[in-house]
Amino acid sequence: MIASDDYAFLSDLLKRHSGLALGPGKEYLLESRLPAVAVTYGHGDITGLVHALRAAPPKELVKHVCDAMTTNETMFFRDGKPFVALEKELLPAAARRARSQGRPVRIWCAASSTGQEPYTIAMIVAQLESQLEGVKVEITATDFSAAALQRAKAGIYNQFEVQRGLPVQLLMKFFRPHPDGFELVPDIRQRVSYREINLLDPFPSFWQFDIIFCRNVLIYFDVATKKSVIDRMATLLLPGGALFLGGTESTLGITDSVVRAPGNASGLFCRPQDLEFHTVKAA
Ligand SMILES: C[S@@+](CC[C@H](N)C(=O)[O-])C[C@H]1O[C@@H](n2cnc3c(N)ncnc32)[C@H](O)[C@@H]1O
């Protein structure tokens, strides 16, 4: 059983470094996920691990502890509706604006986990390409977890993962058999560039996006951290831009920097001044 002051110490460390707000009563989570990290680094058990972390924690150990505590759950075409809105409305509209300004469409998939979300976007872009009249689409995918990013870059998914959400015709079109399951074709892999980014850190100042996906990660943060992330993302949105949050996530009582797009039930938000751009109906 984890000591209460060790629990308090680890909760504080996780909140400061990854944003994870553990709250009370989550001892079982630490007890199930941290012993392996303790053993890997030669600290025996959680008590030894906390001792090392209290002394002079090497950056790599802190990172590994945070990584072990994050949830990487994801799937292709998760929740469906956001991707219908992307394909039918948002991408064509963003391409029209980008074309008139002589620039690419820019999409950021924040908290991209093992890649199913950015590759879903990439497959939609590939399918729509002939209608985009030569406008390029840049997809930047980021995550805090180096392990998740490594898996994402490899683009290899097992049978279970491709059976969750991926239409069979897209499996046949964009994947090839691989000894570990299925491998994405290079054309889709190369459409996504990956980068390690902690959402708590300042974002690169030159970043601007037409569409940002930040789904199913803010649920783990406290209100102040959610507000900080959403407000900073809102400043990166180009005029007419869109921010997707997870289906159960809301900005109510958190911030006014973005508002729910009218008539939409798929987690689509925009800056208040961009409401006129968004006429996407619930799909
Ligand atoms: C549940 S997954 C969501 C994946 C995908 N967005 C989706 O909706 O299917 C949450 C992801 O957030 C990442 N994450 C957690 N804290 C983070 C932080 N502070 N900065 C960046 N990514 C973080 C985790 O590593 C994990 O891959």
Quote the DSSP letter at residue 133.
Answer: T
72 alpha carbon – ligand 1 mean position (Å): 6
Mutate to test the pocket of ligand 1, among 113, 116, 194, 245 (most ligand atoms within 8 A of CB): 113
Q: Which atom of ligand 1 is nearest to the CA of 148?
A: 27
Mutate to test the pocket of ligand 1, among 144, 161, 164 (most ligand atoms within 8 A of CB): 144
Residues with CB under 6 A from ligand 1: 18-19, 70-74, 78, 111, 113, 117, 143-145, 148, 198-200, 215-217, 246
- pTM, whole model, 2 decimals? 0.96
Tens-digit pLDDT profile for residues 130-157? 999 899 999 999 999 999 999 999 999 9
As a whole number of Å, the end-to-end CA separation of the chain is 48
276 alpha carbon – ligand 1 mean position (Å): 30
143 alpha carbon – ligand 1 mean position (Å): 6
Q: Helix, strand or coil for residue 195?
A: strand
52 alpha carbon – ligand 1 mean position (Å): 26
Nearest CA among 186, 248, 193, 171 for reference residue 217:
248
- What's the rounded Cα separation, in Å, for the pair 8 and 225? 19
Q: With 0-12 CB in 10 A as exposed, 13-18 as middle and 19+ as buried, what is 271?
A: buried
Say what the alpha-carbon torsion angle 128, 115, 141, 174 is, to the nearest 10 degrees: -30
Residue 102 and residue 71 in contact, taking contact as beta carbons nearer than 8 Å: no
pLDDT of residue 265: 58
101 alpha carbon – ligand 1 mean position (Å): 32
Which structural domains are found in the chain, ordered by start?
Answer: 4-69 (1.10.155), 81-277 (3.40.50.150)
139 alpha carbon – ligand 1 mean position (Å): 17
Nearest CA among 239, 235, 226, 244 for reference residue 203:
235
Nearest CA among 251, 270, 248 for reference residue 90:
270
Nearest CA among 11, 1, 14, 63 for reference residue 37:
63
Low-confidence ranges of the chain (pLDDT < 70): 263-265, 279-283
pLDDT of residue 282: 42
- What's the rounded Cα separation, in Å, for the pair 218 and 225? 8
Say what the alpha-carbon torsion angle 205, 208, 211, 216 is, to the nearest 10 degrees: 0
Tell me the backbone φ, ψ of residue 270, rounded to 5 degrees: -150, 170
- What's the rounded Cα separation, in Å, for the pair 72 and 145? 9
Mutate to test the pocket of ligand 1, among 70, 71, 81, 83 (most ligand atoms within 8 A of CB): 70
pLDDT of residue 264: 59
99 alpha carbon – ligand 1 mean position (Å): 32
Q: Helix, strand or coil for residue 198?
A: coil
